Amino acid sequence: MTHPLPAGFVFGAATASYQIEGAVAEGGRTPSIWDTFSHTPGRTFNGDTGDVACDHYHRWAEDVELLDQLGVDAYRFSLAWPRIQPDGTGVGNTAGLDFYDRLVDGLLDRGITPVVTLYHWDLPQALEDAGGWRMRSTAERFAQYTQIAHDRLGDRVKDWITLNEPWCSSMLGYGTGRHAPGAREGDGALAAAYHLALGHGLATQVLRSDVTARVGVTLNLQPVQPASDSAQDQAAAERALMNSNLLFTDPILAGRYPALARETYAPITDFGWLRDEDLPVISAPLDFLGVNNYFPSRVEAVGYDEPDPARRTATDLGIHDVIDPRGETTQIGWPVEADGLRRLLVWLRDNYPTLPPIYITENGRACDDVIAPDGSVDDPDRVRYLHEHLDAVAAAVAEGVDVRGYFCWSLLDNFEWAEGYRMRFGLVYVDYPTQRRIPKTSFRWYRDLIAAQRTSAVA
Ligand code: FCB
């Protein structure tokens, strides 16, 4: 590492329920929006679904063993709402809660801290049928579900992340339609973004009844730069920043709805769902902010897809991400530039005076990993990516940003949403036909880095 990481820095790995669990019809689980979406022809690469995924529901003990070998301090995973509260209403489902109960105990037995995400995109389909995140009632239901999860696990789970990447849930789910439930809307996507933020606030209130709980939210944020100095590109960059960051950072970290959002979106919504009295709930102090970042954003102004401003979707902003053809991109097409992560962290610190401590809750890359004839999986590009990004985090810490931990995405190769199984992000290769787990070179690299950091922190 070019700069030291602080003593006590938390090293972890992350996964999410629908991406790894499989067993979609077991233990009383009902369909989520991702079951419906992935089973709809044409929605995911190759028609892939999470029906089996990594079969983690049955192989969780083996996966805990891998975490133990990796030597992480903490494991971030998510609870499947439709396992715990199958229709999104009513009392908790014992079989679903039992599964997470065993997983939590398995982690604690090995000295690994469970970090629980309550919502990583698998909304019960029954709630989508009632309007999904477009509805205020979904935020209220999310708080009830949070109560059920906390009642069962809160004696042992202390670290709670309300939502994962509400930008994706709202803008990809209800804006571009790339993610479940696959809607392409204007007002609907903005209402969803707002109700997710409200759901976060209401769930935080529930968790605060436990004074020992540490509560945060995970946002996917971008360091945004204009592609040129032109006034058009600068204005495009402002709109991009508003949509990708401010739509969530402003309400959650500063208790305000962004002025540029009110202006930009006036043609497509009357903001009828926005209630000023919600903002103090949404912006209640947090113990930490989870930041997910994979790549930086450089934007230029382009024409809008829809010429009529009143008919635009929430993501039709007249912007285009410019990717340097000479630069490195990952298998999924994301540009590699570690300094973007440092810039993002400094931007957060400079713009939000009450910023809580930060954990990087996801970072990693897709590689075209293959099993070599000797049975090993060598992923030097991932090793380099992780190393550079951890260095960028350390550089931000050296500039005074309070970053307390880093979770690699992901422990395992898994179901990468609309990209299906073709994108591999794991430290551990999953051979899907046999479900065999093969730790990659990056797994050993990360294990050794964690061990070395511990030794140097002790010294
Ligand atoms: C993030 C998601 C995570 C994973 C990574 C690659 O947007 O939170 O589930 O798919 O991207």
Q: Is 185 in the pocket of ligand 1 (CB under 6 A)?
A: no
Instruction: Please spell the DSSP secondary structure of 311-356, one letter per residue.
Output: G--TT--SEEE---TTS-B-TTSPBP-THHHHHHHHHHHHH-TT--
- Report the distance separating Cα 140 and Cα 145, nearest Å: 9
Asked about 362 being catalytic, the answer comes back as yes
d(CA 336, CA 295): 6
What does DSSP assign to residue 112?
P
3-state class (DSSP) for residue 402? coil
pLDDT at 458: 63
Q: Which of 162, 292, 360, 382 has most ligand 1 atoms within 8 Å of CB, for mutation?
A: 292
Is the separation of the CB atoms in 393 and 345 below 8 Å?
A: yes
pLDDT score of 455: 85
Indicate which residue of 21, 165, 300, 337 is catalytic: 165
The CB of 355 under 6 Å from ligand 1? The reply is no
Residue 1 has a pLDDT of 78
The catalytic residue among 128, 185, 300, 362 is 362
Residues of the chain with pLDDT under 70: 458-459
Are the C-beta atoms of 232 and 304 separated by less than 8 Å?
A: no
Q: Which pLDDT does position 2 carry in this prediction?
A: 78
pLDDT at 48: 98
Longest dimension (CA), the chain: 64
Query: If you write DSSP's letter for every residue of 2-58 in order, what string do you get?
Result: -SPPPTT-EEEEE--HHHH---TTSTT---BHHHHHHTSTTSSGGG--SSSTT-HHH
Question: Per-residue pLDDT tens for 149-183?
Answer: 999 999 999 999 999 999 999 999 999 999 999 99
Per-residue pLDDT tens digits for 95-128: 999 999 999 999 999 999 999 999 999 999 999 9
Q: Whose alpha carbon is nearest atom 2 of ligand 1? A: 165
**Cα end-to-end span (Å), the chain:** 16
Distance CA 162, CA 172 (A): 19
390: its two tokens: 């951890």
Give the pair of three-digit tokens for residue 248: 């969530």
pTM over 0.95: yes
Q: Which residues contact 191 (CB under 8 A, 6 or more apart)?
A: 133, 134, 135, 269, 273
Q: Which of 54, 164, 152, 67 minimizes the C-alpha distance to 102?
A: 152
Q: Please count the residues of the chain.
A: 459
Q: Which atom of ligand 1 is nearest to the CA of 423?
A: 6
Residue 357: CB atoms within 10 Å: 15
Q: What is the pLDDT of residue 459?
A: 57
